[in-house]
Amino acid sequence: MTATARTPAVTSRLPQVGTTIFTVMSALATQCGAVNLGQGFPDFDGDPRLMQAVKDALDAGHNQYPPMTGIPALREAIAAKVEALYGHRYDPATEVTVTAGATQAIITAVLALVHPGDEVIVLDPCYDSYEPSIVLAGATPVHVPLTAGTFRPDFAAITAAITPKTRAILVNTPHNPTGTVWTAAEQQQLADLLRPTEILLLSDEVYEHMVYDGAAHLSVASHPELAARSVLISSFGKTYHVTGWKVGFVAAPAPLMAEFRKVHQFNVFTVNTPMQHALAAYMADPAPYLELGAFYQRKRDLFRAGLAGTGLRLLPCEGTYFQSVDYSGLAPEIASLGEAAFCEWLTREVGVAAIPLSAFYPDGRDQQIARLCFAKRDETLQMALERLRARLG
């Protein structure tokens, strides 16, 4: 008797999760020949000096496992950079870990520090990995919307969301997708709110060097009270235009880092060796990250100036490389479209791909807003702007 092959039934750990909107819109952009301003990655190369540093590392034989926590030279460079910028010294031996990008850092931090039955507050709209990370830890995400229209933190709502089960709050500044940047007053309000609690703070700071108009990024490392209860997360991919390398880092007080490393060693163990050596050498020159704000502000200003005649209302962009636009002022037949339908129409009919803001909310709320990425070559931005002005102007 011949047995019939059969795959056993599986109960999904993430039954609500499908293909991400970023994958969907990028595929549609390719299909339609659209300029892809949807997914957040540069279409230009990183610094040739950084590429050469990788080649040097390969030639030097740095091709086997590095230490689980990251090579000492890179952890020391990270600690020195954070101290120089934000005034807090993390011990590179016990308080800094190199990660396989920021997304791995986020899920590792959640799995290490959050337990089944806990609650984690997230501020919507938010990056799409936050909720699945919390759910996989057996915890409950508690969604608190940012204030409508301005997308600032609503501290009354955050306070109301705190319960005895609240284990952590996850914040992101500069903020993807809205481009807002927390102020010193907001940071202090958060410190005041958390002071009497045992709540941890997970701080997603991957756009830390993309802040504009003379403002400064306020890292949790710059606030001693917050630093003492925080896991700071950042990304070399975002900072150095090499998102495909998937290298980031975490800095946290030693007791938190000890727990982080317990999980880190079993979900990735360690991170690409030659890239670590290259980054350590490249960080000796701070200019690339110190000049990043001016680099992207010029692109932001070019893009905003070009959008001015399109009928799209520009929301403030204080940081990141994303520009959100309100399309409610367009022709009624276009303005009446939901955000997902509008972005599909924009991709198919105008030839420019965008991401609906509704994709960053668990309830898919519609505010007639789309997100565009300006981390592109000038000629890419000009092509997109020509198409937008031709159809929407």
**Tens-digit pLDDT profile for residues 184-242:** 999 999 999 999 999 999 999 999 999 999 999 999 999 999 999 999 999 999 999 99
Superfamily of domain 21-46+290-392: Aspartate Aminotransferase, domain 1 (3.90.1150.10)
Question: Is residue 321 within 8 Å of residue 296, measured between CB atoms?
Answer: yes
Question: How far apart, in Å, are the Cα atoms of 285 and each of 81, 87, 281, 293?
Answer: 10, 19, 8, 16
Q: What is the pLDDT of residue 2?
A: 75
Other beta carbons within 10 Å of 393: 13
Can you point out the beta strands (E) in the chain? 35-36, 96-99, 119-124, 140-145, 166-172, 200-204, 230-235, 248-251, 313-314, 322-326, 352-353, 355-356, 369-373
With a cut of 50, which residues of the chain have pLDDT below it?
Answer: none
Q: What is the pLDDT of residue 17?
A: 87
Q: What is the pLDDT of residue 323?
A: 98
What CATH number belongs to 60-289? 3.40.640.10
Question: Is residue 242 within 8 Å of residue 248, measured between CB atoms?
Answer: no
Q: Give the 3-state secondary structure of residue 42.
A: coil
Say what the pTM is.
Answer: 0.96
The boundaries of every CATH 3.90.1150.10 domain in the chain are 21-46+290-392
CA 217, 284, 72 angle in degrees (round to 5)?
95
Q: What is the pLDDT of residue 18?
A: 83
Q: What is the pLDDT of residue 227?
A: 98
And the tokens for 96?
A: 């800094």
CA distance 157 to 161: 6
Nearest to 241 by CA among 273, 209, 281, 205: 209
The boundaries of every CATH 3.40.640.10 domain in the chain are 60-289
And the tokens for 349?
A: 């009919």
Q: What is the pLDDT of residue 1?
A: 66
And the tokens for 165?
A: 């089960």
Q: 309-329 pLDDT, tens per residue?
A: 899 999 999 999 999 999 999
Question: Is residue 130 within 8 Å of residue 177, measured between CB atoms?
Answer: no
Question: How far apart, in Å, are the Cα atoms of 28 and each of 244, 348, 374, 376?
Answer: 21, 8, 19, 18
Q: Is 8 exposed, middle or buried (0-12, 13-18, 19+ CB in 10 A)?
A: exposed
Q: What is the pLDDT of residue 21?
A: 84
